[in-house]
Structure 1
Amino acid sequence: METLLNQAKILIQSTGYDEISLISLSSMDYSQIESLVDTLLHDYGCQGVGVALPSLRVDSFSVDIAEKVQQVRKSGLTLAPEAGSQRLRNIINKRVSESQIMEAVSGAFDAGWSSLKLYFMLGLPGETDADLAEIVRLAERIAGVYRQKKRQGRLRISISVSTFVPKPHTPFQWMGQISPEEIRRRQQLLRSMIRDRAIELSTHDVNTSDLEALFSRGDRRLSAVIERAHELGARFDGWTEHFRFDLWKRAIEECGVDHRYYANHTKEITEVLPWEHLDSGVRKEWLVEQWDLALKELETDDCRFGPCSLCGVCMDYGVQNLLDKESNR
């Protein structure tokens, strides 16, 4: 934690920014997060410097931390259930139940929030239309919790749905992304199911998600596509107003790359993947095992608090889990 505090001190002194953002893959899983937030607020809150958190794990502990952050600057609250149904949460090993979700949002409403953002993914392995309906049902149930409390503020629930992009060195690396046509169909299905005026839906751009899948699952042949797209004028594609999918489509065609094969083809376990020469520390055998467990809708314990699942990282890289001794989680 000392390293993080020193970095924060240097950044505040050097930049003059009024917010410290704690960004990581899962900030709330850092076992000293509570002590870190408390110290940052104590040291810099009096200067008007706030602490920002990314989308939070869905539990009461995360809401408690978010409530502390509000002492300096009010902000919205973003929770990430990831999937609407328990079945899909089991598949992606998102170890949170609906009762935990309800407990977290109830605590958020009690703490004064009337605006929530819920983050979900579309196109997860094994997803059906019934799973999509569960996203809307969950949001409606959350709205019901707020109304039962008879709060004065106007309720606003923003559902943000991004498209799942299979990534290398994960248990879903063999899976192809659903097609652009299917993404559009599922997005429209979600829109058609929302009836509550307090619930708003935003979705990720289909073409952007399509390109993300292409480059996530592609090989070195895509370097020619990137170069050609640049020659055609592709610039600052991370900004919506500059994104030109037509240029990328032309570059892909001119380079003779099979877009649909890279982005949407589900690979066999026996296939040699383009990234297999890279060692992330996670063993392929473990990824295969986790892929099989996901298909069976079975979860894996969190190795910080449960048994080691033998993924290979700690054994091959000499990594040790160092947990805050005072952590009660």
Structure 2
Amino acid sequence: LSVPSLRADNFSRDLMERLQAGGRKSSLTFAPEAGTQRLRDVINKNLTEDEILTTCANAFSGGWNNVKLYFMLGLPTETDEDVLGIAELVYKVILTWKEQAVNKKRGLRVHVATAYFVPKPHTPFQWEKQITPQEYLRRCHLLKSHFYSKSIEYDYHAPDLSRLEAVFARGDRRLGAVIEEAVKNGARLDGWDEYFDYAKWQDAFRKCGVDADFYTVRGYGEDELLPWDTIDVGVTKKFLKQERKRAYESKITPDCRHGCAGCGAERLLREVTCDA
């Protein structure tokens, strides 16, 4: 068994000691999401490089030699410099292990995983386009080419399932026919690699005359009527537009646990409306 992903800015000595009390040390998982501070600010991660490295130092000095680091590729405004920033951060983690590890006999293992960014409804990035599968794979290979250490194990998510995820995340009623056709084609249990067959979905899109690119690699206009606009989750569209603007300006919005940002969701909890 292993513990789930932990917040790198909240991995305390107390938590580490509690995990150690369980006996066998499994790997620790953290999700920096992006390799550069600029891009972490864009996605409002509220996590600094110092916090990441300090957390890793605490883990290594506590006896851990296995860490997993999760990132996303294709985030809005991402450049090759941001992609290579992942490699730079990973090598800083390795250097931290060399300086802080108390048990070097077993060696270090850093498992790096990258996922394909999927724009989601009701988020500031709901209007963004998803990069093409070809561009995603290019960035994966670019990153892989900069991993030289034997301590690094790198894998990336195959793009087909993430592409489908983007289609259904931002799709409309026309996809009902696509789903029905795919099921007729034998699509089943697509969340499992051994059952997932992207060709069946491609055939379903083709037979139904639906272009998957319309929902994925196409950016949506901020004034465009979106399929999910009829769903009220509390957060206002005005707030999401403001947050998108702040993202492109690399401005951080504090965690709402430390103060209301005026997103509008508070009215679902109380009979009041935030000034959003």
Fold agreement, TM-score > 0.5:
yes
For 2:265, the equivalent position in structure 1 comes to 313
Counterpart of 1:139 (choices 86, 90, 103) is 90
More divergent stretch after superposition (67-76 vs 107-116): 67-76
User: Do the aligned partners of 2:16 and 2:62 also contact (CA within 8 Å) in 1?
Assistant: no
Q: Which amino acid aligns with 2:164?
A: L
Greater length-normalized contact order (CA 8 Å, ≥ 6 residues apart): 2
Q: Flag structure 1 segments of 5+ consecutive residues without an equivalent.
A: 1-18, 20-51, 321-329
Counterpart of 2:6 (choices 44, 56, 60) is 56
User: Aligned partners of 2:202, 2:135: CA distance in 1, in Å?
Assistant: 19
Pairwise CA distance, 1:70: 3.5
User: Aligned partners of 1:62, 1:203: CA distance in 2, in Å?
Assistant: 29
Counterpart of 2:106 (choices 134, 138, 153) is 153
The alpha-carbon distance between structure 1 residues 83 and 253, as it changes in their structure 2 partners (threshold 3 A), is: same
User: Aligned partners of 1:167, 1:220: CA distance in 2, in Å?
Assistant: 17
Counterpart of 1:270 (choices 198, 213, 223) is 223
More divergent stretch after superposition (69-78 vs 100-109): 69-78
> TM-score normalised to the size of structure 2?
0.93
For 1:36, the equivalent position in structure 2 comes to none
> TM-score normalised to the size of structure 1?
0.78
For 2:70, the equivalent position in structure 1 comes to 119
Q: Report matched runs for 1:1-329 at 5 Å.
A: 53-62=3-12, 64-72=14-22, 74=24, 75-149=26-100, 151-305=104-258, 307-318=259-270
User: Aligned partners of 1:87, 1:146: CA distance in 2, in Å?
Assistant: 25
User: Aligned partners of 1:56, 1:62: CA distance in 2, in Å?
Assistant: 11
Q: Which amino acid aligns with 1:309?
A: A
User: Aligned partners of 2:218, 2:209: CA distance in 1, in Å?
Assistant: 17
Partner SS state of residue 31, structure 2: strand
Q: Which amino acid aligns with 1:317?
A: L
Pairwise CA distance, 1:154: 1.1
RMSD: 1.7
Pairwise CA distance, 1:184: 1.1
More divergent stretch after superposition (311-320 vs 194-203): 311-320
Pairwise CA distance, 1:63: 6.2
User: Do the aligned partners of 1:60 and 1:107 also contact (CA within 8 Å) in 2?
Assistant: no
User: Aligned partners of 1:114, 1:317: CA distance in 2, in Å?
Assistant: 44
Q: Flag structure 2 segments of 5+ consecutive residues without an equivalent.
A: none
More divergent stretch after superposition (293-302 vs 143-152): 143-152
The alpha-carbon distance between structure 1 residues 141 and 277, as it changes in their structure 2 partners (threshold 3 A), is: same
Pairwise CA distance, 1:313: 0.7
Pairwise CA distance, 1:315: 2.8
Quick check: which one's helix share is greater?
Answer: 1
Aligned residues: 269
Q: Which amino acid aligns with 1:294?
A: A
Q: Which amino acid aligns with 1:122?
A: L
Partner SS state of residue 240, structure 1: coil
User: Do the aligned partners of 2:133 and 2:159 also contact (CA within 8 Å) in 1?
Assistant: yes
Q: Which amino acid aligns with 1:61?
A: F
Instruction: Report the identity percentage.
Output: 44
Pairwise CA distance, 1:67: 4.0
Partner SS state of residue 108, structure 1: helix
Q: Which amino acid aligns with 2:40?
A: R
Partner SS state of residue 157, structure 1: strand
The alpha-carbon distance between structure 1 residues 76 and 67, as it changes in their structure 2 partners (threshold 3 A), is: farther
